[in-house]
């Protein structure tokens, strides 16, 4: 039992466990554990893999039959001119539904999954403080959103370069930007998309504090996103559209103007921030006062 003795002796030498060593207040150990848990989950990996297929399919489809005329979703007509537009076109197509759906699975699972498995009570007993647990969960859901955006953009870029080549890109304003600048704009787009998805993440986490079934939390989150998308499409409801976070999602197109049009981008970020604040506060208020009895 020498191992036990040395460990206990070390614990004694370290003195009280109530006084944390300086470095451990800001330890990222639990955050890393949560990242491993979410990204190591087969289900979440499959979702990422499926999302990675979308730009490949779009690239091949456009290669096989190029779109003619000016109809079709934004950016599709530019794909044949420059491969980087595969990324933008895919984000335009996938952002309204597919990406939020994949994110809903992770966000809804956040606390409800732990609750239904019973691991939530053991995390609280460790003890992981409730506020800290919520913050770490939220950070990792947003990280998953970023991974979705970067993966779609990255695979799109590779597919586009392979099928259509790179070079200078024509902006929506008609001017030309260098390939390097285009890549930079693509990265900014990923950040904007992640910021937009942060509202879905907050909604999902809030729903996840309300129910003890992960599947219900996922369904409610995804359902809410879809309803919001429908509301945004109904012309008669155009007065409420500006208050919907998803109304601004595809504004990332403004990043492809020269110079960048910031108006819609900033409005999108502000409305999203408001939603994150509301759902984040609700989730915090609910979770920190909740009886955990599962």
Partner 1 sequence: MTLDLPAPGDLSVTSGSPETGTAKAAPAPAAGESPAPTVAPLAIETTGLTKRFRGGQVAVDHVNLRVPHGAVYGFLGPNGSGKTTTIRMLLGLISATEGSHELFGTPMTGRSWSLLSHVGALVEGPAAYGHLSGAANLARYDAGDRTADPVTAKARIDVALERVGLTAARGKKVRNYSLGMKQRLGIAAALLQPRRLLVLDEPTNGLDPQGTREVRTLVGSLADDGTTVLVSSHLLAEVEQMCTHVGVMHAGRLLKQGSLDEMRAGQQASVRITTPDPARAVEVLSRLGFGHVLRQGSEISAPYDGVAIVPEKVNAALVQAGVGVRALAVDQPTLEDMFVALTGEGFDVSG
Backbone φ, ψ for residue 173 (5° rounding): -85, -5
Residues in region 240-269 near partner 1 by CB under 8 A: none
- Residue 5 or 71 with smaller CB distance to partner 1: 5
The yes or no reply on residue 215 touching partner 1 (CB under 8 A) is no
Rg (CA), the chain: 22
- Report the residue from 5, 68, 71, 174 that binds partner 1 according to the rule CB under 8 A: 5
Residue 24 binds to partner 1 (criterion: CB under 8 A): yes
Closest CA to 268 of 278, 254, 283, 282: 254
Do the beta carbons of residue 211 and residue 112 sit within 8 Å?
A: yes
Q: Which stretch binds partner 1 (CB under 8 A): 16-24, 88-96, 199-207, 262-270?
A: 16-24
How many other C-beta atoms are found inside a 10 Å radius of the C-beta of residue 276?
20
* Closer by beta carbon to partner 1, 19 or else 64: 19
293 binds partner 1 per the rule CB under 8 A: yes
Q: Are strands 176-177 and 169-170 parallel, antiparallel or unpaired?
A: antiparallel
Give yes or no for residue 1 binding partner 1 (CB under 8 A): yes
Helix (H) or strand (E) holding 220: helix 214-233
32 vs 238 by CB, closer to partner 1? 32
Contact 112, 283 (CB under 8 A): no
Tokens at 245, concatenated: 């976070």
Q: What residues numbered 132-161 form the site for partner 1, per CB under 8 A? A: 133
Residue 238, interface with partner 1 (CB under 8 A)? Answer: no
Q: Rounded CA gap, 162 and 160, in Å?
A: 5
Please identify, using beta-carbon distances, which residue of 12 and 64 lies nearer to partner 1: 12
Tell me which residues touch partner 1 (CB under 8 A): 1, 3-5, 7-12, 14-20, 24-25, 27, 29-30, 32-33, 37, 41-42, 117-119, 121-129, 133, 288-289, 291-293
């Amino acid at each position: 039992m020498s191992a036990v003795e040395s460990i206990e002796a070390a614990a004694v030498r370290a003195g009280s466990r109530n006084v944390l060593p300086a470095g451990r207040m800001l330890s990222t150990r639990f955050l890393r554990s949560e990242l491993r848990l979410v990204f190591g989950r087969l289900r979440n990996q499959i979702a990422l893999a499926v999302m990675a297929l979308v730009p490949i399919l779009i690239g091949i489809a456009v290669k096989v039959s190029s779109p003619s005329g000016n109809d079709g979703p934004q950016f599709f007509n530019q794909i044949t001119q420059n491969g980087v537009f595969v990324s933008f076109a895919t984000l335009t197509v996938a952002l309204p539904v597919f990406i939020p759906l994949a994110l809903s699975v992770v966000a809804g699972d956040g606390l409800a999954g732990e609750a239904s498995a019973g691991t939530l009570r053991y995390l609280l007993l460790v003890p992981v403080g409730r506020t800290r647990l919520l913050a770490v969960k939220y950070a990792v859901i947003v990280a998953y959103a970023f991974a979705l955006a970067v993966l779609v953009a990255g695979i799109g870029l590779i597919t586009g370069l392979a099928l259509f080549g790179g070079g200078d890109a024509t902006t929506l304003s008609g001017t030309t930007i260098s390939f390097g600048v285009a890549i930079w704009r693509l990265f900014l787009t990923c950040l904007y998309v992640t910021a937009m998805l942060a509202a879905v993440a907050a909604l999902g986490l809030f729903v996840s504090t309300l129910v003890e079934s992960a599947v219900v939390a996922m369904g409610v989150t995804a359902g809410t996103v879809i309803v919001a998308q429908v509301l945004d499409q109904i012309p008669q409801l155009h007065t409420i559209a500006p208050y919907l976070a998803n109304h601004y999602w595809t504004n990332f197109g403004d990043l492809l103007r020269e110079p960048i049009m910031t108006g819609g981008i900033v409005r999108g970020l502000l409305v999203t921030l408001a939603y994150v604040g509301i759902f984040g506060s609700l989730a915090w208020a609910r979770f920190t006062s909740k009886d955990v009895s599962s």
